[in-house]
Amino acid sequence: MNRRRRIYDGKAKILYEGPEPGTIIQHFKDDATAFNAKKHEIIDGKGVLNNRISEFIFQSLNEIGLPTHFIRRLNMREQLVRQVEIIPLEVVVRNIAAGSLAKRLGMEEGRRLPRPIIEFYYKKDELDDPMVTEDHILAFGWASFQELEDITSLAFRINDFLTGLFRGVGILLVDFKIETGRIWEDDESHVVLADEISPDSCRLWDAKTQDKLDKDRFRRDMGGLIEAYSEVARRLGILLDNDTASFGDSGPQLVPDPETTHDPRGNSVGRKPE
């Protein structure tokens, strides 16, 4: 059935050649990995939830004029995106101390930072994605000065937007990671947001209980990952209120998207005729 050319098989996603030149299909798998894939598990339904949550966020960012690679969701596990030249950096924005920052600086998790902080990591699995400075990035030519300015401003604008979005539904945005890419038009390129934004790549805490609603549930063997991701989707209005997150064989029951038609198992694709 699948005659599409596979371009890349990643830890949580597969990329296929898109239907038109300059497009890619991004397929969300159920694989959960941590510690550079040393820990690995399949968690039924995770890909479907991340696809929908990431779609919701990228669509919202597009709507407020922030450039992203997202074109449209195709089905429950796949989205059509613009092909970009990935800039080999993981860009982390932090609002509250947690994870590697808390560890590195001996800070208690949960401490609000004096202001949002940005960090850059060089995307290199063999080296476990080491943290790098702006000087490394410029000296080694991973991004130009202008691109670094654009990436920084994009990352902080995304942080402002997401902080408000999540705060409105009782969730604290502790930190998140983004990836960016270049899109070439004639001889000029510009930076756009690429990859995904989902509970796999953010730390999200319930504002009242501080419960973790993100991948730390997997990293720290806490269990309840699907329930947590479902809760995020439910609060964002993507998952039906009465859904208990007991997905059984059929996968999560997500709010039907007026733009697309799909069956509950998410197998069929199709945009409704205009």
Q: Does 147 bind ligand UDP (CB under 6 A)?
A: no
Among 58, 166, 176, 229, binds ligand UDP (CB under 6 A): 176
Q: Which stretch binds ligand UDP (CB under 6 A): 149-157, 163-171, 197-205, 221-229?
A: 197-205
Scan residues 80-119 and list those touching ligand UDP (CB under 6 A).
90, 92, 98-101
Which token pair is 193?
């947001």
Q: How far is the CB of 151 from ligand UDP (least distance, A)?
A: 15
Which residues fall within 8 angstroms of residue 31, CB to CB, at 6 or more apart? 11, 12, 40, 41, 42, 43, 46
In 39-187, which ranges are E strands? 39-42, 70-73, 78-82, 85-86, 89-96, 112-122, 131-132, 171-185
Q: How far is the CB of 44 from ligand UDP (least distance, A)?
A: 21
Among 78, 147, 175, 196, binds ligand UDP (CB under 6 A): 175
Amino acid at 63: E
Q: How far is the CB of 98 from ligand UDP (least distance, A)?
A: 6
Give CA–CA dist 52/154, Å, rounded.
22
Q: Does 46 bind ligand UDP (CB under 6 A)?
A: no
Among 95, 180, 201, 230, binds ligand UDP (CB under 6 A): 201
Q: Report the residue closest to ligand UDP, judged by CB.
A: 99
Q: Does 215 bind ligand UDP (CB under 6 A)?
A: yes
**Residue 175 vs 231, nearer CB to ligand UDP:** 175
Q: What is the dihedral of CA 47, 50, 54, 56, to 10 degrees?
A: 110
Three-class SS of 223-251:
CCHHHHHHHHHHHCCCECCCCCCCCCCCC
Question: What's the N-to-C CA distance of the chain in angstroms?
Answer: 27
* CA–CA–CA angle 45, 47, 50 (5° rounding): 110
Q: How many residues does the chain have?
A: 274
Q: Which stretch binds ligand UDP (CB under 6 A): 66-74, 140-148, 172-180, 239-247?
A: 172-180
**Residue 39 vs 190, nearer CB to ligand UDP:** 39
Which residues bind to ligand UDP, rule: CB under 6 A? 90, 92, 98-101, 129, 175-177, 201-203, 215
